[in-house]
Structure 1
């Protein structure tokens, strides 16, 4: 692979944090329009240079940034249009609900937890009194665009209680072109190092990739607020299947057509060492009713059926490690395996990554990562060096100088031999001047021939109107 150079053409600027970028065709329209969902709860659409508000749910969104110095990972996190949206007007939202702020599941800052391999008590924490010790509630809802052009909420699909403010997923709702089902990606619940090991627990909704059959009617008007599958009413359980577990925090599931099949890509955000992209073609989702049955019978389902991304024992291609500064040499860090038993337990069950890229990498042509923020296939021809590849964005490459901050774009390609792949940088023009530019989201159009990049001038959602959306062009 070689370095590709692209331009960034601005589409809209001075907006709030652009978390979801995708296109659709409105009922009765003939133009494919770009939809932009902001973390604070606005959804805009653009076509022929025209910018309009599609929906504003800011009053429904929990107050962001108040308890974390302006930084936040809650808010409007997912937007997906039904495959038949043009005819039925149905679309789906995932967001953090106003008025649900709790004290958190553990005392201290939201990322303060670190396991201590010398203290077994830190390796087996339990999330207790969940109705009291939680951070907030997320909801997944079905909405409909009425014939008068006004969107209204139809029903609630899930209400999820979350232990911490971070790792709630982003671009968390996407429809599968294979099954027609809505795919929900949930992070591990937050803090650092998954303190309660929710991602590997088959009963926990946290740390999973879940399919929802939205065509099944549950007749449950208001689903209960839950954290575990067995707490759901049976009619809701019957709409759910689980594709994968072992998720830390995921940037949604994307699909690339390969002959008569689809390659699925899942970008898993790392802890301290590595960012990872997983890919798979074949999978056998497990019905939640079967998982609950195994739980009640105190038996284990066939783990061969689960796709397991390996967290918390594995951070991408590496065993999860704790970093400690070396007192004799501050430039170096000691790396200790955080969860040895977890790494052993999942070593043969986990899916091998397609590609990992690292927070420290001295190789030529590479960059020091911060956090993976988007993964999208590119099937267009306008940028021939990228055709058929998988493009990904990182929040902010580490640099020697403090300012200005720049995100990173790079690409890799699918491979069929299951070996760990490498990547190449995408060089861009620099329209940012002295302004910081965090790359916060990546999107594509319906046939994946165009790519869109969401950029923000701050890491803090409380710093308003610093967002710009670009199209990535030759």
Structure 2
């Protein structure tokens, strides 16, 4: 999935209200190497498992600190934290509700925003639609503006055969209640009809430049081909189409928005959409900005693969990240999705070079199932878990898309710019993994990280959990 193809996270065996997390003694590390057999690929991130604890993080075990919140949620997918001193968390549930969690861990009985009457009717067995993303305006403390990404049934003006419509909308906090949105303030920013119900993307985030970034999947289905997909090119490579892209817009000017003049396609012509910041994505399921002190900000984006490989990209303005010509570091043939071609182009006819991921892993490693759908996270800049400092924390929905076996990883950048990652193992779990589906990550105002999960395969029941990562006692 973005919800992609199902994500999972495991809860492990509980020790009271805590689960210990340790580091796998045999971490999976993926190091850039010279393939040697595919000259067209040059240097690619090819998976190699290390038999030693090379790159193992120091600092002991980790735990999930289980709150008493998860009975309140069906499918918590996103989390925002106002930097207003209240310690509140705003939790977006896929079913269409944003809940307020107080600093004491209580969930207020009345939601901040309730969109259940507006979103699609969700399939309780599995669905990628619903309320998918939440972002607070950089001036939220003064203007009370927040932005949501959700799906709705297709509008009357949608192309015939559309399966759903993604919508980005702005709301304002009520003037009389800081824990409620005034629904009358809704301002629709963007509407995009989609041919299929999956691959919606859903991430919203404001960059350090003050602009709103929006992740959109390729339109759904499989392979970026078929009904609703640009013939011989795919939506993700079609610059006249917003699907399969990361967009950048200015919500502070224009009606309903304006496009920053520095966007890469502003003067491209030929129908290219000026909103596009980067392209070539299948289903980007979670991106985040890292803004280290005294250094340039960087944008990390995880992109869910089709059948064989998952990837994480460092996204740069105007970059082409390969889909549907590449799946991770592999060549991709949409007509034969399980057999990568031996040779494929690293440059498109328009002159764009396909950017390789910084991290990639196969669904099956050495004949053993490894993962099913990558889940993007954050570079850790908090103070509680020092061993994770400056490491990119991300994960995978689960070894199986049907059995809750989510995985957590911590990636490290070497001095030469190459990356490797190690698995964070659940110490009290027989498998070393969590016992739920990993859906996403959240970050609070102090930079501490939260894990969002559920044990059901779809948006039903009350197994949705929000857990904070803290050091083991």
The structure 1 residue matched to 2:321, chosen from 309, 318, 322, is 309
The normalised TM-score by structure 2 is: 0.74
- Alignment-derived partner of residue 214 in structure 1: 251
Deviation at 1:454, TM superposition (A): 0.9
Does the 8 Å contact 1:322/1:338 carry over to 2? no
Does the 8 Å contact 2:201/2:285 carry over to 1? yes
- Alignment-derived partner of residue 452 in structure 2: 454
- Alignment-derived partner of residue 327 in structure 1: none
Number of residue-to-residue matches in the alignment: 385
Answering whether residue 274 of structure 2 is matched by residue 276 of structure 1, we say no
Aligned counterparts, 1:406-425, within 5 A: 406-415=405-414, 417=416, 419=418, 421-425=419-423
> Aligned pair in 2 of structure 1 residues 471, 312: CA closer, same or farther (>3 Å)?
same
Residue aligned with 2:117, SS: helix
Does the 8 Å contact 1:323/1:336 carry over to 2? no
The structure 1 residue matched to 2:166, chosen from 138, 141, 163, is 138
- Alignment-derived partner of residue 154 in structure 2: 100
The structure 2 residue matched to 1:38, chosen from 74, 86, 93, is 93
> Aligned pair in 2 of structure 1 residues 451, 430: CA closer, same or farther (>3 Å)?
farther
Does the 8 Å contact 2:83/2:445 carry over to 1? no
Aligned counterparts, 1:7-26, within 5 A: 7-11=63-67, 12-14=69-71, 15-25=73-83
Q: How much is the aligned-residue C-alpha RMSD, in angstroms?
A: 3.3
Distance, in Å, in 2 between the alignment partners of 1:431 and 1:257 is 34
Aligned counterparts, 1:129-168, within 5 A: 131-149=159-177, 150-151=180-181, 152=183, 153-168=185-200
> Aligned pair in 2 of structure 1 residues 339, 39: CA closer, same or farther (>3 Å)?
farther
Any stretches of 5+ residues in structure 2 without a counterpart? 1-54, 258-265
Distance, in Å, in 2 between the alignment partners of 1:215 and 1:6 is 41
> Aligned pair in 2 of structure 1 residues 438, 393: CA closer, same or farther (>3 Å)?
same
Distance, in Å, in 1 between the alignment partners of 2:343 and 2:188 is 37
Distance, in Å, in 2 between the alignment partners of 1:9 and 1:38 is 20
Deviation readout 1:117-153 (Å, 9 max, x if unpaired): xxxxxxxxxxxx9711211111111100021123123
> Aligned pair in 2 of structure 1 residues 37, 181: CA closer, same or farther (>3 Å)?
same
Deviation at 1:453, TM superposition (A): 0.5
Aligned counterparts, 1:259-338, within 5 A: 259-280=294-315, 283-284=316-317, 306-320=318-332, 335-337=339-341
Distance, in Å, in 2 between the alignment partners of 1:348 and 1:243 is 14
Does the 8 Å contact 2:165/2:193 carry over to 1? yes
Aligned counterparts, 1:200-211, within 5 A: 200-211=237-248
Does the 8 Å contact 1:18/1:36 carry over to 2? yes
The structure 2 residue matched to 1:185, chosen from 215, 225, 230, is 215
Distance, in Å, in 1 between the alignment partners of 2:392 and 2:248 is 23
Distance, in Å, in 1 between the alignment partners of 2:344 and 2:150 is 35
Distance, in Å, in 2 between the alignment partners of 1:473 and 1:209 is 32
Deviation at 1:100, TM superposition (A): 2.9
Residue aligned with 1:87, SS: helix
Deviation at 1:336, TM superposition (A): 3.9
Residue aligned with 1:62, SS: coil
- Alignment-derived partner of residue 394 in structure 2: 392
- Alignment-derived partner of residue 375 in structure 2: 373
Deviation at 1:32, TM superposition (A): 2.6
Does the 8 Å contact 1:101/1:135 carry over to 2? no
Deviation at 1:373, TM superposition (A): 2.1
Distance, in Å, in 1 between the alignment partners of 2:187 and 2:430 is 42
Distance, in Å, in 1 between the alignment partners of 2:342 and 2:165 is 29
Does the 8 Å contact 2:154/2:193 carry over to 1? no
> Aligned pair in 2 of structure 1 residues 423, 321: CA closer, same or farther (>3 Å)?
farther
Distance, in Å, in 1 between the alignment partners of 2:136 and 2:338 is 46
Residue aligned with 1:307, SS: coil
Deviation at 1:376, TM superposition (A): 1.1
Answering whether residue 350 of structure 2 is matched by residue 353 of structure 1, we say no
Distance, in Å, in 1 between the alignment partners of 2:201 and 2:256 is 27
Any stretches of 5+ residues in structure 1 without a counterpart? 103-128, 221-228, 285-305, 325-332
The normalised TM-score by structure 1 is: 0.74
Distance, in Å, in 2 between the alignment partners of 1:350 and 1:246 is 8
Distance, in Å, in 1 between the alignment partners of 2:351 and 2:378 is 28
Deviation at 1:335, TM superposition (A): 2.1
